[in-house]
Homo-oligomer: A and B are copies of this chain.
Amino acid sequence: MLSDRLSEQLPPPPRPQGGYVPAVRHGDLVVTAGMTPRVDGALTHRGRVGEDVSVEDARSAAAIAVANALSAAVSVLEGAQLERVVHLAVYVNAAEGFEQHTAVADGASARLQELLGEAGAASRAAVGVTSLPGGACVEVVLTCGVAPA
């Protein structure tokens, strides 16, 4: 059972920072909220990648954020089975002219595949944004496919 093994390896589901819920399941999909690199509720990596934050640190931040997102997804499964990650969106708080979004996003993708194996191989979009909530350096959103239990 994928979900059972998983829950031991994941952080607790993140507490929402505003008027939203961490994840919603509808039919055969689960979509998470945007998740930032928080541990015990506190941001671990703030600032702009390529200026305040190195690409290597941003990779670590993306890995933390995606584990939070996966934890949120698992928290709404209610007996359904996580089949695979369908899409991973990675928003990088990046300076103009930054080009290494792929390297940052690979931090999240590698973590997903550590946690889920082949089921973590997702389509992915990475873009650079001006700013993120609370000054986070990266934010991720997961869309997961589920099968009924």
Q: Which residues of A approach B to under 8 Å, CB–CB?
A: 17-24, 26-29, 31-34, 48, 72, 83-89, 91-92, 94-103, 105-106, 109-110, 113, 121-135, 139, 141, 143, 145
Copies in the complex: 3
The one of B20, B23, B125, B132 in contact with A88, judged by C-beta atoms closer than 8 angstroms, is B20
The one of B17, B27, B97, B99 in contact with A145, judged by C-beta atoms closer than 8 angstroms, is B27
Are B28 and A124 neighbours in the complex by a CB distance under 8 Å?
Answer: no
Are B124 and A86 neighbours in the complex by a CB distance under 8 Å?
Answer: no
Q: Looking at chain A's contact residues, is the secondary structure mostly helix, strand, loop, or mixed?
A: mixed
Q: How far is the CA of A87 from the CA of B23 in the complex (A)?
A: 8
Are A26 and B24 neighbours in the complex by a CB distance under 8 Å?
Answer: no
* A20 with B124, Cβ < 8 A, contacts A26-B83, A28-B27, A145-B27 known: yes
